[in-house]
Amino acid sequence: MCSSHPERASVARVLSWHTLEALLLLALCAVPSRAQSRSPAKDPSPEVVQLTMKGVKHVDQHDLEKSINTQPSKCISFFVQPFCWMSHSPVLWHKYYLDRDEFRRDVLRIRVYYWKRGFREATVDTAITAKGRGVAVAFDVHEGEPTIVTALRIDYDTTLMTVKQKNKLTLLRVGQPLNLLTLDSTRLNFQSEMWQRGFADAIVDTAIAVNDSARRAAVALRVYPNWPTTVGNIIVLGNKEVATQTILDMLLLRPGRPFIRNDMLESQRTLYTSNLFRLASILPPTGDSIKRIEIQVVEAPLHSARVGSATDNVNYVQLEAGFSAHNLLGGARRLDLNASLGNLFSSTLNGWGPFALDTRLKDLDNANVFLQPTWSASLDFNQPAFLRRPANQAGFGIFAHRRSEPSIFIDRGYGATATFTRQLASRAPASINYRYEVTRVEAGDIYFCVNYGVCDTTTIQTLRTHQNLSPLSLTAFIDRSDQAFTPTKGYVARIDAEHASRYTLSDYRYNRAFFDAAAYWHPSLRPQVVASHLRLGIVRAMTSSTGDTVLHPRTRFYAGGAMSVRGYGENQLGPRVLTISPDSLRAPKGTPLPGGGIDTTSRCPANIPIQQCDPNLLSLKDRYFIPRPTGGTSLIEGSVEVRFPTGVRHLDAAVFVDGAIVGNSALKALSDLKSIADFARGTSAITPGAGIRYNSPVGPVRVDLGYNPRLIEDLPVVTNTKVGGEDKLVALQTARTYTSGKNTFLGRLVLHLSIGQAY
């Protein structure tokens, strides 16, 4: 086993860090270790039931534990942990056993781990003790003082790079420990930047001068650009069905153009996302200033199809099918056909077994309408490398559907879409999209109020007729984050702008703008990640040909929920109305209450109009009222979240503060804006909270608890009454003082369960 104490040099040494690391390994392995271990068991390979790592302060303990061979037995999944507490069956546990040779090498692994991160005097003591059915293993780390970078010099061509760019690429800082991994990342940053500027053969030399006795280090980097590089011949190997020219059209690499890093990465990504290839590799280029590029591909099937079925007691028998052609007429053109059918055999199955007739249909004259088949169909065509430019894509699609909910609504619609997308930079596309849709929803007033959040008669009448919703939209997106599931640094941003008017053939006429961005920071030498989120939106209706200023509910803004302000339920922050049944308003004495008990107080008398009923009567509890979001015309939303490890494997925690203002201003045009107060005048809230995240293979499984400091609001109330034999909505003259929950600490907590980070 290797020594737990490195030698100290009395004079400074100047070495490349690769040579330094090699000498370190030789020196450590040449000296016998002084680490002690005690094994109480005669079994040469006892089970490791516990692993303890003490003294770890300046590095990531989870990462350190993963770097060693010795691991404790663990439950196969966080979700079956309660069963693991009751049983140690191999079916529920991943069993790990002690390998004494590897255990001794783990001391070396820990010391090398610390050495690379600037802690050159770290030592490790070990212990093995009996515990339950196996042994407990402990590593006691004494980190010691770090070797500090006191001088950092970078020599580079100032005509190719500015001081600001140089500072951005430099990850190692004066005053920080001599982290060799950070130094290597800095070296790769400069090398990649030179490649991005067309110098693919750039070399970055590093040198370190270390004074071990003083624990100081001086670091120098020299950037040699060498010669400019260009793309030469491009050779494609392995293709049979896909034409070589099709592959070349998909590449950003072009003969005679500078050979830069992003062009190569984006070309390989485009080949993979085309679904034409199982494997697409750009081999290391050969040549000096003119690079010969070889691309190796393994083709995938050019056609795919799928068929599925399902059944339930609401939609009866359902079928769905899809077909994709990945190289239609050559040129990597893609065609997707999708179709689905529902309510099959409903007339036969209705009322039989689990397919019991919905009691709401019994009183309807047109009940059979809701038992007719539902369906949807779509066709989408995509043309990559549009006009033979790999940064362009174009596509169009057509769609139609008939959906229904028994006794509630029938939704019919059809339309077409057209999209043009251009890749402005790596992971930064911009798109222009036009969608022409004709919609019609057949339903009563109650449906629109409850499901659309639309409770005014004018908007309901508009939604009930055939209407065109046809916006022209511009979307731009940029992703500069370091990870897909849980970013630790960088940022992502998206901006959308929509216009709908008679010029776009739309009956709904409006202008809408929306901005969404998130940024991430990871402080050096700390495991925490600070994430922030900002959303801004505004929509304004324009006067239609009929003189109305109606907004479709789809264009409005909503806040609250697992991905928004977590102190509220889904879409519950913002303009809302309360709905209540007329029977609850006029219930006489002796009426059973929801949840049990008998009503002992009369409510609204039957001899007065229902509009004059007072919703604040003593016997009307909040549980009788259902809040319905109606959406706002402006939005300001922001969040800050700090994520950090808990010490339990795969489990992180977070604390956050979310806030938003959802406005419902009566401004008619964007030019009328004078201040933030005009931009968002409406419902606002700030809600703190905390949560945990389980890092699963499909992304973090998130449990959040948000605290709602504001429970009481005065909200308008709507109910329905019979007018000419039909249910019509009416608004009560008095608002309800509504309490969202119990006025206790637990009553103010809102629970959210979801997969993926909030942003």
- Structural domains in the chain, CATH included, are 13-142 (3.10.20.310), 148-224 (3.10.20.310), 230-299 (3.10.20.310), 304-426 (no CATH)
Provide the pLDDT for residue 217: 94
Q: Write out the DSSP string of 493-524.
A: EEEEEEEESGGGT-SS-EEEEEEEEEEEE--T
Q: Is 78 helix (H, G, I), strand (E, B) or coil?
A: helix
Distance (Å, whole) CA 172 – CA 95: 40
Please report which residue ranges of 224-313 form alpha helices under DSSP H: 244-249, 261-273
**Run of H or E residues at 107:** helix 100-116
- Which tokens belong to 703? 């449990």
Q: Which residues are within 8 A (CB) of 456 and not within 5 positions of it... i.e. 6 or more apart?
A: none
Q: Using an 8 Å Cβ cutoff, are 635 and 660 in contact? A: yes
Q: Is 95 helix (H, G, I), strand (E, B) or coil?
A: coil
Q: Which residues are within 8 A (CB) of 189 and not within 5 positions of it... i.e. 6 or more apart?
A: 169, 170, 171
Strand partners, 644: 653
Provide the pLDDT for residue 587: 66
Provide the pLDDT for residue 585: 80
Distance (Å, whole) CA 66 – CA 50: 14
Distance (Å, whole) CA 448 – CA 360: 17
Place of tokens 């495991």: 527
Low-confidence ranges of the chain (pLDDT < 70): 1-44, 78-79, 312-315, 347, 350-370, 405-409, 443-458, 524-526, 544-549, 587-602, 618-619, 665-681, 722-727
Distance (Å, whole) CA 68 – CA 116: 15
Q: Which residues are within 8 A (CB) of 22 and not within 5 positions of it... i.e. 6 or more apart?
A: none
Provide the pLDDT for residue 594: 52
Whole-number average pLDDT of the chain: 81
In whole angstroms, how far apart are CA 352 and each of 314, 341, 359, 373? Answer: 13, 21, 14, 18
The DSSP output letter for 49 is E
Nearest by Cα to 183 from 12, 7, 6, 16: 16
Backbone angles phi, psi at 40, to 5 degrees: -80, -15
Q: What is the arrangement of strands in the sheet containing 230-237, beginning at the earlier edge strand?
A: 230-237, 290-299, 277-282
Angle at which helices 180-196 and 261-273 cross, to 10°: 90
Backbone angles phi, psi at 520, to 5 degrees: -135, 140
Q: Using an 8 Å Cβ cutoff, are 393 and 420 in contact? A: yes
> First vs last Cα of the chain: how many Å apart?
47
Nearest by Cα to 439 from 396, 400, 405, 398: 400
Q: Which residues are within 8 A (CB) of 471 and not within 5 positions of it... i.e. 6 or more apart?
A: 434, 435, 498, 499, 500, 504, 506, 510, 512
Distance (Å, whole) CA 315 – CA 403: 10
How far is it between the farthest Cα atoms of the chain? 102
Nearest by Cα to 670 from 498, 456, 503, 553: 498
Provide the pLDDT for residue 230: 94
Q: Is 738 helix (H, G, I), strand (E, B) or coil?
A: strand
Query: Mind listing the pLDDT tens digit for each residue in 218-238?
Result: 999 999 999 999 999 999 998
Please report which residue ranges of 411-524 form alpha helices under DSSP H: 445-447, 457-464
Q: Using an 8 Å Cβ cutoff, are 510 and 551 in contact? A: yes
In one letter, which amino acid is 370? F
Place of tokens 């003294």: 55
Provide the pLDDT for residue 592: 57
Provide the pLDDT for residue 628: 77
Q: Is 387 helix (H, G, I), strand (E, B) or coil?
A: helix
- Which tokens belong to 616? 């604040």
Q: Which residues are within 8 A (CB) of 416 and not within 5 positions of it... i.e. 6 or more apart?
A: 396, 397, 398, 399, 435, 436
Place of tokens 């945990």: 692
Provide the pLDDT for residue 601: 54
Provide the pLDDT for residue 179: 93
Q: Using an 8 Å Cβ cutoff, are 368 and 343 in contact? A: no
Provide the pLDDT for residue 548: 60
Provide the pLDDT for residue 8: 32
Provide the pLDDT for residue 10: 31
